[in-house]
Amino acid sequence: MAGFSSRIICYKLQLQTMTYYPTIGLEIHAELKTRTKMFCNSKNDSDETEPNVNVCPICMAHPGTLPVINKEAVRHILRIGTAIKGTIADFSEFDRKSYFYPDIPKGYQISQYEHPLVTNGELLGVAITRVHLEEDTARSIHAHGKSLVDFNRAGIPLMELVTEPVLKDAETAGRFARELQLLLRTLSASGANLEKGEMRIEANVSISSSKDAFGTKVEVKNINSFRSVERAIAYEIQRQTALIESGGKVSQETRGWDEAKQVTFHQRFKEGSADYRYFPEPDLPKLIISEIPEFTSAALKASLPELPWERRARYESLGIRKEYIEALMQDEFINAMFEGVAQHASKKDTTLIGLAANYIVSDIVGLMQDQKVEETCAYKNPKEFQKVFYKLVEMIKENKVSSRGAKDILALLYRSGGDPEVIAQERGLLQSHDVDFLRMSVLHVLQEQTKAVEEYQAGKEASLQYLIGMSMKKTKGAGNPAKLKELIVEELKSKLG
């Protein structure tokens, strides 16, 4: 997405007296997939719609209760840290971050400050500062002149990942956020769904007239799609540029992204970190990671599945065209279809694998974009669809169906299920290898289409295509176009000779 708005900015910059260098740093939160909450036994269920059912005295901060660290959540952060080649802390601890708000029952959030679980690391070449573990806040709902609080979310384990201020443009920031989503899903660490609030992105944006100095940063919140990440950053660069150009000064503030108006708006001026009065959480033990056998670096490494960049490299080695690889990576359903073929085909069968990639990117993606998968796809279980898809791709490879026929069969399979061979038979889409039958059909066409024959013989190539088309029609789609072409050329040659 080459960002419509970023092009406008380039245009505007040309009219300006100065060049400005944008700097962007991201802070990304993600709810971790665990059975229970971060410090208690209440259920971690982001799909729960009834408010205040997944609560207990601990996450409701009743006096005298004690938190207990969720090991599953720690493990998620350590695996993320290992995947991004970060430094896993040996000593780590939790801290209290104090502030008052109705969505924070204790009056503080348990987070990490000086000793996060992970420091350093990199993703898509973007340097990562830290990855730490904290607890989510409750959800506030403001409606009908009232404010309501749902505590189901309070205490759900939350990852916070902070990048260095090294991003230079909106598109790269968007790409980074998408890659992180893919990584979190690959690791089964988070559903990372932006619309559900499982993943939340905050962008820090500044501009400077010097390459070697940072400008004052503005933090943008309430961004709820990847497209909005790009647009909010582009907007903010534009706003700050206009502000400075008109003699103004950027002030350090938190702004919100208004999706309807496509603008950022002032929310509050930034508080310094001292205001949170961070101090180590006295109710929790310190963590000495090296003392936990499952958390040695070797054990963590061994627990990682194939990572997104490793998967891309494998697809490249299978001969998949570069422009297809991203399309095959971006959606779980699409990826499952492709893996269904890639994992079951012999590695050397690049024809079969290439055909599968082709039909997935050009047909299944289109079918999915028609409507939501859940509504139209006949297969609730992608494994079942993988099987019939594999069978269809084999039929295509063996020339049993034409590419046109295959597209029709695929659409039918997608919507109503079934067996590709049976569908092909019923709809007369099986290609005939009966050469005598095909030759008879071709001869009929050549007799009927004297004008096209003359034109072809006079050198008009398009007429050959027409004759092939008519022959396919004559065979009711059963003829393979390549074979029909061969027969037409052969017959016309012998006619001349």
- What does the binding site for ligand ADP look like in residue numbers (CB under 6 A)? 23-27, 162-165, 204-206, 214, 217, 273
DSSP for 199-239, please give it: EEEEEEEEEESSTTS----EEEEEE-SHHHHHHHHHHHHHH
Comparison of 108 and 113: residue with beta carbon closer to ligand ADP: 113
Question: Phi first, then psi: what are they for 129, rounded to 5°?
Answer: -80, -50
Question: Phi first, then psi: what are they for 109, rounded to 5°?
Answer: -105, 140
Least separation, in Å, of the C-beta of 216 and ligand ADP? 7
Asked whether 253 and 219 are in contact (CB, 8 A), the reply is: yes
Comparison of 217 and 255: residue with beta carbon closer to ligand ADP: 217
> Which residues lie across from 264 on neighbouring strands?
257
Looking at this protein, which amino acid is placed at residue 148? L
Comparison of 162 and 184: residue with beta carbon closer to ligand ADP: 162
Comparison of 173 and 406: residue with beta carbon closer to ligand ADP: 173
Comparison of 4 and 214: residue with beta carbon closer to ligand ADP: 214
Helices (DSSP H) in 332-381: which residue ranges?
332-342, 350-359, 365-370, 373-376
Question: Phi first, then psi: what are they for 115, rounded to 5°?
Answer: -125, 70
What is the Cα 95 distance to its own chain's centre? Answer: 32
Least separation, in Å, of the C-beta of 130 and ligand ADP? 9
> Which residues lie across from 191 on neighbouring strands?
none
Asked whether 48 and 150 are in contact (CB, 8 A), the reply is: no
Which tokens in the block code for residue 232?
A: 């909010």
Comparison of 70 and 112: residue with beta carbon closer to ligand ADP: 112
In whole angstroms, give the CA distance from residue 367 to residue 371.
Answer: 7
Looking at this protein, which amino acid is placed at residue 110? I
Asked whether 124 and 308 are in contact (CB, 8 A), the reply is: no
In whole angstroms, give the CA distance from residue 489 to residue 465.
Answer: 11
Radius of gyration (Cα) for the chain, nearest Å? 30
Least separation, in Å, of the C-beta of 156 and ligand ADP? 22
Least separation, in Å, of the C-beta of 214 and ligand ADP? 3
Asked whether 214 and 23 are in contact (CB, 8 A), the reply is: yes
Comparison of 207 and 360: residue with beta carbon closer to ligand ADP: 207
Least separation, in Å, of the C-beta of 91 and ligand ADP? 21
Comparison of 26 and 364: residue with beta carbon closer to ligand ADP: 26
Comparison of 10 and 274: residue with beta carbon closer to ligand ADP: 274
**Shortest-Cβ-distance residue relative to ligand ADP:** 25
Q: Given the DSSP bridges, would you call strands 218-223 and 253-258 parallel, antiparallel or unpaired?
A: parallel
In whole angstroms, give the CA distance from residue 307 to residue 313.
Answer: 10
Least separation, in Å, of the C-beta of 164 and ligand ADP? 5
Comparison of 97 and 231: residue with beta carbon closer to ligand ADP: 97
In whole angstroms, give the CA distance from residue 294 to residue 296.
Answer: 6
3-class DSSP assignment, residue 409: helix
Looking at this protein, which amino acid is placed at residue 81? G
Neighbours of 247 (CB within 10 A): 6
Asked whether 12 and 237 are in contact (CB, 8 A), the reply is: no
Comparison of 243 and 304: residue with beta carbon closer to ligand ADP: 243
